[in-house]
C-alpha cells in the first residue's frame, strides 16, 4: 500500500510517497513558487533519480499535483505504474482548533471545518484547503484523504494550561487559547522514546524539545500532552530562528507606539525579524551563528546563551508540571545536529544528576539518533530524528483500514 503525504503551503507543496509495507520513501520533493513566475520542482526517487530546478508552469496547486503525478508515473524513472497504486493521501493541517482532537477522514464537512479555522491560522489553513481541493481535482473524489493536525496531540492539555489570562469573553468569542503546534513531531518522537525506554508509553514522563527554525517544547505524561510552549500561534514559547517566543506584552505595545507600527507590521517584526536573527544580527540559521560564535562574535555568543537558558527554563518548569521526568528528547534541525546546545542545555540540570556522554553526543548528528546521557545519568537524554511524514502516513493507513 502506497500513501502520498502532502504538506501544502500558500506557494509550495511538499510531498512524500511512502510504501507502507516497509515504510520506505519511494519519492519525495517539493513544488515551490506556485503561482509565480519560475516555479521550481524538486523530485527525488528511492532509486536515486532526481529532477531539480526544472521549471514547470505551476499556476496553482492543481498544476503542482499534476506535476508530481507525472513524475511519479514517468515510464522510465517513475516510482509507480498506475495512479491507482496510491491508496490514500494524508494531508498535514496546522490548525485543528478545538474541533479536531485526532486525525480524520476528509469529507465535505471536514473541509468546511478546516476552512472555519482559517482565522486562527490564516496562511496555513487556507493553503491546506487549497491543497485538499486540488488533490480531489487530480485524483478524483473516491481517493480517501486524511487530515492530520499539528494541534491534535496537544488537545489533552487541561484548561489551566491552555487558557490565557485575558478577559474570558475572548476565549468564548474568538477561541483565544493555547493550541500548541509540532504535535505530530512530538507524538512521533515520544512514541519512539517509549520504545527506546522499553516501556508502555502510558508509564512514561517525557519532555520533548523540537528545535528547528520554529521550536517548541512539550510535557508528555503517559503519552498525553499536559503542556506545550507554542500557543495560539507558533509565536509563543522561546526564541526561534526569527520569532521572539514569549515576551513581556508591553514590549510589543512600546515598540509599536515608538516606531508607529500597525498590528500587521508588528506581527511581521515579531515573527520574521526577531529571535536568533534579531539578537545576533547575523542570520536565522544556527549554522551561521555558530560560525560567528566560533570567531568570538559577542552577539552570536549572547544568542546561544539566551537560547540554551530559555530552553532549560522550559524543561525545568515542565519537570515540575510532570512531577519529575525520566527522559528528555532533542529533535529537529538544531536538536538533531547541534551537540553543543544539547550540552549547554543539560548543564543546567547537572546539579540534579543529568550527565551527557560528550563523545556519544558529538557523534549523534546528521540523522543518527540514540541515548546521549551516561549510564548513571538520573534522566535519560535522547536524540530522536523526527519523522512527521511517516506518522501522517501511518494515521492515513490506519483510518482507511478501519
Active site residue ranges: 150
Q: What are phi and psi of 45, to 5 degrees?
A: -105, 165
Site map for ligand ADP, 172-211, x if CB under 6 A? ----------------------------------------
Query: Are the CB atoms for 180 and 225 separated by under 8 Å?
Result: yes
Neighbours of 132 (CB within 10 A): 23
* Nearest-approach distance from CB 340 to ligand ADP, in angstroms: 10
Number of residues that bind ligand ADP (CB under 6 A): 13
**Which of 214/245 has CB closer to ligand ADP?**
214
Query: Are the CB atoms for 56 and 112 separated by under 8 Å?
Result: no
Minimal CA–CA distance to 368: which of 380, 358, 382, 357? Answer: 382
Interacting positions 134-163 with ligand ADP (CB under 6 A): none
Q: In this chain, which of 12, 337, 361, 396 binds ligand ADP, going by CB under 6 A?
A: 337
Determine, following the binding rule CB under 6 A, whether residue 358 of this chain makes contact with ligand ADP.
no
Element spanning 161, H or E: helix 159-162
**Which of 199/287 has CB closer to ligand ADP?**
287
Minimal CB distance residue for ligand ADP: 333
Beta carbons within 8 Å of 120's beta carbon, 6+ residues apart: 95, 97, 175, 179, 232, 233
**Which of 62/303 has CB closer to ligand ADP?**
303
**The residue count for the chain:** 402
* Nearest-approach distance from CB 339 to ligand ADP, in angstroms: 9
Residue 59 to residue 182: CA distance in whole angstroms: 29
Determine, following the binding rule CB under 6 A, whether residue 278 of this chain makes contact with ligand ADP.
no
Long-range pairs for 27-32 at CB < 8 Å and ≥24 separation? 27/71, 27/72, 27/79, 28/389, 29/68, 29/71, 31/56, 31/58, 31/64, 31/67, 31/68
**Which of 256/301 has CB closer to ligand ADP?**
301
Handedness of CA 368, 374, 380, 381 (dihedral sign): negative
Query: Are the CB atoms for 204 and 326 separated by under 8 Å?
Result: yes
**Which of 212/278 has CB closer to ligand ADP?**
212
* Nearest-approach distance from CB 215 to ligand ADP, in angstroms: 8
Determine, following the binding rule CB under 6 A, whether residue 388 of this chain makes contact with ligand ADP.
no
* Nearest-approach distance from CB 386 to ligand ADP, in angstroms: 8
Minimal CA–CA distance to 341: which of 320, 356, 325? Answer: 356
* Nearest-approach distance from CB 49 to ligand ADP, in angstroms: 24
**Which of 131/333 has CB closer to ligand ADP?**
333
Q: In this chain, which of 10, 77, 213, 271 binds ligand ADP, going by CB under 6 A?
A: 213
Determine, following the binding rule CB under 6 A, whether residue 359 of this chain makes contact with ligand ADP.
no
Beta pairing, strands 2-8 & 86-93:
parallel
**Which of 157/276 has CB closer to ligand ADP?**
276
Residue 15 to residue 207: CA distance in whole angstroms: 29
Element spanning 202, H or E: none
Determine, following the binding rule CB under 6 A, whether residue 234 of this chain makes contact with ligand ADP.
no
Helices within 246-338 (DSSP H only): 249-259, 263-272, 275-280, 286-294, 298-322, 332-337
Interacting positions 280-309 with ligand ADP (CB under 6 A): 285-287
Determine, following the binding rule CB under 6 A, whether residue 95 of this chain makes contact with ligand ADP.
no
Determine, following the binding rule CB under 6 A, whether residue 275 of this chain makes contact with ligand ADP.
no
Determine, following the binding rule CB under 6 A, whether residue 214 of this chain makes contact with ligand ADP.
yes
* Nearest-approach distance from CB 31 to ligand ADP, in angstroms: 17
* Nearest-approach distance from CB 308 to ligand ADP, in angstroms: 14
Q: In this chain, which of 34, 325, 332, 346 binds ligand ADP, going by CB under 6 A?
A: 332
Residue 198 to residue 227: CA distance in whole angstroms: 24
Site map for ligand ADP, 360-379, x if CB under 6 A? ------x-------------
Residue 126 to residue 174: CA distance in whole angstroms: 18
**Which of 138/277 has CB closer to ligand ADP?**
277
Report the interface residues with ligand ADP, using CB under 6 A.
212-214, 241, 285-287, 332-334, 337-338, 366
Amino acid at each position: 500500500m502506497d500513501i502520498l503525504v502532502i504538506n501544502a503551503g500558500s506557494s509550495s507543496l511538499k510531498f512524500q510517497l511512502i510504501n507502507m509495507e516497509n515504510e520506505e520513501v519511494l519519492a519525495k520533493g517539493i513544488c515551490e513558487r506556485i503561482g509565480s513566475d519560475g516555479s521550481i520542482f524538486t523530485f527525488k526517487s528511492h532509486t536515486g533519480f532526481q529532477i531539480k530546478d526544472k521549471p514547470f508552469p505551476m499556476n496553482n496547486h492543481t498544476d503542482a499535483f499534476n506535476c508530481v503525478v507525472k513524475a511519479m508515473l514517468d515510464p522510465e524513472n517513475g516510482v509507480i505504474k498506475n495512479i491507482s497504486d496510491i491508496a490514500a493521501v494524508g494531508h498535514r493541517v496546522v490548525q485543528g482548533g478545538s474541533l479536531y482532537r485526532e486525525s480524520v477522514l476528509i469529507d465535505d464537512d471536514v473541509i468546511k471545518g478546516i476552512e472555519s479555522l482559517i482565522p486562527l491560522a490564516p496562511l496555513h489553513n487556507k493553503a491546506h484547503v487549497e491543497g485538499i481541493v486540488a488533490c480531489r481535482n487530480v485524483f478524483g473524489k473516491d481517493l480517501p484523504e486524511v487530515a492530520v493536525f499539528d494541534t491534535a496531540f496537544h488537545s489533552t492539555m487541561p484548561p489551566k494550561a491552555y487558557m490565557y489570562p485575558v478577559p474570558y469573553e475572548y476565549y468564548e468569542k474568538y477561541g483565544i487559547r493555547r493550541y500548541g503546534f509540532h504535535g505530530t513531531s512530538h507524538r512521533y518522537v515520544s512514541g519512539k522514546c517509549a520504545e527506546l525506554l522499553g516501556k508502555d508509553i502510558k508509564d512514561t514522563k517525557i519532555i520533548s524539545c523540537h528545535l528547528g527554525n520554529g521550536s517548541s517544547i512539550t510535557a508528555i505524561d503517559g503519552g498525553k500532552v499536559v503542556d506545550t510552549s507554542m500557543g495560539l500561534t507558533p509565536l509563543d514559547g522561546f526564541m526561534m530562528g526569527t520569532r521572539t517566543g514569549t515576551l513581556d506584552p508591553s514590549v510589543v505595545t512600546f515598540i509599536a507606539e515608538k516606531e508607529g507600527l500597525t498590528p500587521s507590521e508588528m506581527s511581521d517584526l515579531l515573527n520574521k525579524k526577531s529571535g536568533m536573527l534579531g539578537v545576533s544580527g547575523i542570520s536565522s540559521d544556527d549554522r551561521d551563528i555558530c560560525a560567528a560564535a566560533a570567531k568570538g562574535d559577542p552577539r552570536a555568543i549572547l544568542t546561544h546563551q539566551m537560547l540554551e537558558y530559555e530552553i532549560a527554563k522550559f524543561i525545568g518548569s515542565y519537570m515540575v508540571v510532570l512531577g519529575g521526568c525520566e527522559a528528555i528528547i532533542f529533535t529537529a534541525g538544531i536538536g538533531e545536529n547541534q551537540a553543543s546546545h544539547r550540552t549547554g542545555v543539560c548543564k543546567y540540570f547537572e546539579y540534579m544528576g543529568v550527565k551527557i556522554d560528550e563523545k556519544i553526543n558529538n557523534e549523534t548528528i546528521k540523522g543518527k539518533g540514540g541515548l546521549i546521557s551516561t549510564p548513571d545519568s538520573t534522566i535519560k537524554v535522547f536524540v530522536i530524528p523526527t519523522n512527521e511524514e511517516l506518522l501522517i502516513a501511518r494515521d492515513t493507513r490506519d483510518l482507511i483500514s478501519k
